[in-house]
């Protein structure tokens, strides 16, 4: 183990739980539920690709009391039992990880948070960079200069990730990671059944922490607190506050150790893992095991050729035989064409437009030279290139990445000869959040290619084209090569999944419709929209009157507090659950 290496730690139960509720129900032929396992693996693969760690480990809770339960018996006592559909996936998830040679760390008496906190702090002390993956914000207290907390969140089917270093915790919660413990001690935590101080919610707790800095300092100045109810609650519940702080504190000094030799982030795709993936019917993931496809992008780059003259590039395009397959990549930024690359797989060529000839095209502009009457040399060259691309699209089968951006340069009569690798990758795995070229190459070709950031950093495309033409040319070539190489693989996978007709007859034609809609706009009939809005308002009023009639009293239906009082006090309905602010009106209660 050396300094400057990276360790990724995953909160097993937390991510599995998040995946279970974020992925639609899946079962294999034996009736085993697999959605949580599938979602977990997708999340793990994503972070492996993003973080590129040297070491990897997953921590799980052990089904046994911890030191916190011994201190406070009701700890986590309000949690609902794990759904059976999720429970049955836990041992299988562990089997999958073991088959992939991923180290699992668990220890009786400790929660996964304690294991993660301890391993993270020890690794940082030894000079390593650490990334913690969890859905649990309790771990924010562990964030440090070399410890990053990453919290994946799923919204509308898309996974977004919140990253926290100490400064991010401060920005989000107005406290440091260490102070986050005291914040939780004051406000409590209903999820873990940590009591906190009665009458002190997140807002009050934050104000107190900002003013006094720690739980101990708050009590040292408790008589200065002006709000009587808060002051008295703090005084009366000092023992509860101290207990809550102990319960909320993640142990970072436990005796748990990590075997770094076993935890090396390599050799995941074993035969045993392959057999398990097949048994679980994770067909889209099996390509990761196709070792004959695994190669480095650097070897492919040797086949790239930069053409200095537009005439030479157009000549290469003209030599392509009718009906042949070709990958095309256009470097576009703000409607401006900066470069074009084409690949037959055996050979990939690229032409970068001279900076002064980069002609601006907005979504609503025609290609220069088409009806503009402009005879400027740059426009003439641009028209020649556009004509060459149009002629190519009428003659060969084109594979591209994000075809909507290409339609202004290619024939639009039919999509029969076009294949969009971005759409295909999404259809095969709609649960991912990233579908860039690097991700598609890695998942479907087993190919590692450098990302845009690796090639030319944070520069915009036009800056890279002007300042780093060789690197920019390489970027374009990778786009064309991957588009050409992955098309056949994706087509076969779509056919196996029974989605080839969906791709050909629905998705590809729809892309052209969407392009036209974006270019032409959509007509809005204001009168009809207003009439529909008025009808909705009328229906809402009818429903409100009906609700008030059934309740026997008028109240604000949009107020959870008033709704709870009407349901459980006025109407005496069973099942009411009181919280600090009144009756709960959560979906499961209703």
DSSP characters for 48-74?
HHHH--SEEEEE---SS--HHHHH-TT
pLDDT in tens, 74-116: 777 777 788 999 999 999 999 999 999 999 999 988 999 999 9
CA distances from 348 to 404, 409, 447 (A): 22, 20, 16
**What whole-number distance in Å separates Cα of residue 307 and Cα of residue 239?**
76
Question: Residue 281 above 90 pLDDT?
Answer: no
| Structure confidence at residue 444 (pLDDT) | 87
Is residue 507 pLDDT above 50, yes or no? Answer: yes
Distance in angstroms (rounded) separating the CA atoms of residues 114 and 60: 10
Q: What is the pLDDT confidence band of residue 341, given thresholds at 50, 70 and 90?
A: very high
Quote the tokens at residue 577: 């659950």
Mean pLDDT computed over every residue of the chain: 87
How far apart CA 426 and CA 238 sit, in angstroms, is: 54
Percentage of the chain with pLDDT > 90?
57
Residue with tokens 């588009």: 483
Note the pLDDT tens digit of each residue in 393-413.
999 999 999 999 999 899 888
**pLDDT given for residue 131 in this prediction:** 97
Instruction: Report the distance separating Cα 1 and Cα 10, nearest Å.
Output: 19
pLDDT tens, residue by residue, 223-262: 999 999 999 999 988 988 988 898 889 999 999 999 999 9
Q: Give which of 100, 25, 499, 474 is closest to 284, Cα–Cα.
A: 499
pLDDT classification of 370: cutoffs 50, 70, 90: very low
* Total residue length of the chain: 590
CATH topology for the 6-175 domain: Rossmann fold (3.40.50)
| Over residues 448-473, mean pLDDT | 86
DSSP at 518:
H
The closest of 361, 354, 338 to 452, measured between CA atoms, is 338
Q: How many CB atoms lie within 10 A of CB 265?
A: 20
Looking at residue 105, its pLDDT comes to: 97
Are 244 and 194 in contact by the 8 Å Cβ rule? The answer is yes
Q: Where in the chain are the domains? A: 6-175, 292-520, 535-583
User: Token pair 């700890």 is at which residue?
Assistant: 75
Alpha-carbon separation of residue 32 from 27, 35, 60, 275, 429 (angstroms): 5, 9, 21, 16, 20
pLDDT value of residue 289 = 76
pLDDT at 378: 65
Please determine, for residue 436, whether its predicted confidence score (pLDDT) is greater than 70: yes
515-546 pLDDT, tens per residue?
999 888 888 899 999 999 999 999 999 999 99
Domain 535-583 has CATH 2.40.37.10: no
pLDDT (mean) for 1-16? 89
Kindly state the average pLDDT of the residues 166-177. Answer: 95
pLDDT at 71: 76
Percentage of the chain modeled with pLDDT above 70 = 92
* Reported confidence tier of residue 126, pLDDT bands at 50, 70, 90: very high
**Reduced to 3 states, what is the DSSP secondary structure of residue 587?**
coil
Q: What six digits make up the tokens of 505?
A: 């007859």
Cβ–Cβ under 8 Å, residues 78 and 190: yes
**pLDDT reading at 1 higher than 70:** no
Write down the CATH number for the domain with range 292-520: 3.30.420.10
């Amino acid at each position: 183990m050396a300094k400057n290496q990276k360790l990724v730690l995953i909160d097993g139960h937390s991510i599995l739980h998040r995946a279970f509720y974020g992925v639609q129900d899946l079962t294999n032929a034996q009736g085993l539920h697999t959605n949580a396992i599938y979602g977990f693996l997708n999340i793990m693969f994503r972070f492996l690709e993003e973080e590129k760690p040297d070491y990897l480990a997953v921590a799980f809770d052990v089904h046994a009391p911890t030191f916190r339960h011994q201190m406070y018996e009701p700890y986590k006592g309000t949690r609902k039992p794990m759904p059976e559909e999720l429970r049955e996936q836990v041992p299988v998830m562990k089997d999958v990880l073991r088959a992939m040679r991923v180290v699992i760390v668990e220890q009786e008496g400790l929660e996964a948070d304690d294991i993660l906190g301890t391993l993270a702090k020890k690794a940082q002390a030894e000079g390593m960079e650490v990334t913690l993956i969890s859905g649990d914000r309790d771990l924010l207290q562990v964030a440090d200069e070399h410890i990053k907390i990453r919290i994946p969140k799923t919204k509308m089917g898309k996974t977004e990730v919140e990253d926290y270093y100490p400064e991010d915790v401060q920005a989000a919660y107005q406290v440091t990671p260490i102070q986050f413990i005291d914040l939780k001690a004051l406000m409590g935590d209903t999820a873990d059944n940590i009591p906190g101080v009665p009458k002190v919610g997140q807002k009050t707790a934050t104000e107190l922490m900002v003013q006094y800095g720690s739980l101990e300092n708050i009590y040292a100045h408790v008589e200065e607190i002006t709000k009587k109810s808060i002051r008295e609650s703090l005084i009366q519940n000092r023992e509860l506050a101290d207990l809550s702080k102990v319960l909320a504190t993640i142990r970072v000094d436990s005796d748990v150790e990590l075997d770094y030799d076993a935890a090396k982030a390599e050799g995941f795709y074993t035969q045993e893992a392959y057999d398990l993936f097949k048994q679980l019917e994770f067909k889209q993931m099996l390509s990761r095991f196709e070792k004959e496809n695994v190669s480095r992008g650097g070897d492919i780059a040797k086949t790239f050729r930069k053409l200095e003259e537009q005439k030479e590039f157009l000549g290469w395009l003209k030599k392509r035989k009718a009906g042949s397959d070709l990958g095309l990549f256009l470097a576009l930024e703000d409607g401006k064409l900066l470069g074009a690359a084409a690949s037959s797989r055996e050979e990939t060529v690229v032409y970068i437009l001279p900076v002064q000839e980069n002609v601006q095209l907005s979504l609503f502009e025609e290609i220069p030279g088409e009806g503009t009457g402009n005879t400027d040399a740059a426009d003439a060259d641009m028209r020649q290139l556009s004509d060459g691309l149009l002629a190519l699209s009428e003659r060969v089968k084109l594979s591209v990445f994000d075809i909507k951006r290409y339609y202004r340069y290619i024939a639009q009569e039919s999509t029969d000869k076009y294949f969009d690798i971005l759409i295909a990758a999404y259809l095969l795995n709609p649960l991912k959040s990233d579908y860039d070229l690097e991700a598609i190459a890695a998942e479907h070709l087993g190919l590692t290619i450098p990302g845009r950031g690796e090639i030319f950093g944070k520069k915009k495309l036009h800056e890279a084209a002007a300042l780093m033409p060789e690197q920019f040319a390489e970027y374009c070539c990778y786009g064309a090569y991957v588009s050409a190489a992955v098309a056949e693989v994706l087509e076969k996978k779509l056919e196996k999944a029974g989605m080839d007709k969906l791709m050909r007859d629905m998705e590809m034609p729809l892309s052209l419709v969407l392009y036209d809609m974006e270019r032409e706009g959509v007509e809005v009939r204001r009168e009809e929209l207003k009439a529909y809005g008025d009808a909705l308002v009328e229906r809402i009023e009818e429903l409100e009157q009906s609700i008030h009639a059934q309740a026997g009293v008028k109240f604000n239906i949009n107020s959870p507090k008033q709704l709870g009082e009407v349901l459980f006090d006025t109407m005496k309905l069973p099942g009411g659950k009181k919280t600090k602010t009144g009756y709960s009106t959560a979906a499961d209660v209703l």
